[in-house]
Amino acid sequence: MASASTSQANPVQSVSSDQSVSSWTNWLLPISLLLALSPLLQQYFSWTWLEGHYQYFPVLIASVIVLVWHHWGKARLAATPSHRYVVVLGLSAVAFFVFLGNLLWTGIFGIVGASLAAVVLIYGWLGWGGLKTLLPVLSLLVLAIPLPMHLDNKLIFNMQFVASGLADLLLDGAGIWHVREGVLLITEHGRYMTEEACSGVRSLFSSLAVVSVFSVISSHRLPRIALNLFQTVFWVFVGNAIRVAACVALADYVSVWFASGSGHELLSLIVFGFILGMVANTDAVFANLIGDRVTWYDENFGPTAFSADTSPSPETHRSAAMFSRMSRLFYLGFVGLFMLLFLFGMSAWRISQPIWNISLENASSLAGLSQGDLPQSLDGWNRGQYEHVQRGTGAMMASNSYTWQYSKDELSAVVSVDCPWSGWHDLNECYQAIGWETTPEYFVASRESVPREELSFTRLQMTKPNSGRAGRVLFTVVDANQTEVQSDLWKNNLQAMSHLGNTMTTRLGEILKGTIDTNAKVALPATTIQVLVEHGESLTPEQDEAIERFFYAARDQLLRGRRWNGRQQDAHDGR
Is 0.75 surpassed by the pTM of this model?
no
pLDDT attached to residue 319: 43
Give bridge partners of residue 478 from the DSSP assignment.
484, 527
- The DSSP symbol for 206 reads H
Averaged pLDDT, 560-565: 88
The pLDDT tens digits of the residues spanning 451-499 come to 899 999 999 999 987 777 899 999 999 988 888 887 655 455 444 455 5
Q: Report CA-CA distances (Å) from 131 to 72, 80, 81, 311, 504.
A: 10, 9, 11, 16, 35
Range name among 231-245, 295-309, 510-524 with the lowest pLDDT average = 295-309
Q: Is the pLDDT of residue 357 over 70?
A: no
513 or 493, which is more confident: 513
pLDDT attached to residue 202: 84
With cut-offs at 50, 70 and 90, classify the pLDDT of residue 207: very high
The pLDDT tens digits of the residues spanning 64-95 come to 999 999 999 999 999 888 888 898 999 999 99
Set out the domains of the chain in order of their start, with CATH numbers: 2-146+314-352 (no CATH), 151-290 (no CATH), 360-485+522-574 (3.40.1000)
Range name among 161-165, 230-234, 405-409 with the lowest pLDDT average = 161-165
The pLDDT tens digits of the residues spanning 330-344 come to 888 999 999 999 999
- Residues of the chain with pLDDT > 70, as a percent, come to 79
User: What's the N-to-C CA distance of the chain in angstroms?
Assistant: 85
3-state class of 366 per DSSP?
Answer: coil
Q: Is the pLDDT of residue 239 over 60?
A: yes
pLDDT attached to residue 89: 94
Cis preceding linkage at 30, omega within 30: no
In the chain, the amino acid numbered 415 is V
271 or 512, which is more confident: 271
The enclosing H or E element of 168 equals helix 151-173
CA–CA gap between residue 438 and residue 354 (Å, rounded)? 31
Q: CA nearest 43: which of 106, 114, 103?
A: 106
The pLDDT tens digits of the residues spanning 16-72 come to 434 445 555 678 889 999 999 999 999 899 888 878 788 889 999 999 999 999 999
Q: Could you give the count of Cα atoms lying within 13 Å of 290 in the half-sphere of its Cβ? A: 8
The pLDDT tens digits of the residues spanning 169-199 come to 888 888 888 788 777 788 887 777 776 666 6
CA–CA gap between residue 142 and residue 231 (Å, rounded)? 19
The pLDDT tens digits of the residues spanning 410-463 come to 899 999 999 888 778 888 888 887 778 889 888 889 998 898 999 999 999 999
Mean pLDDT over each residue of the chain, to the nearest integer:
80
114 or 332, which is more confident: 114
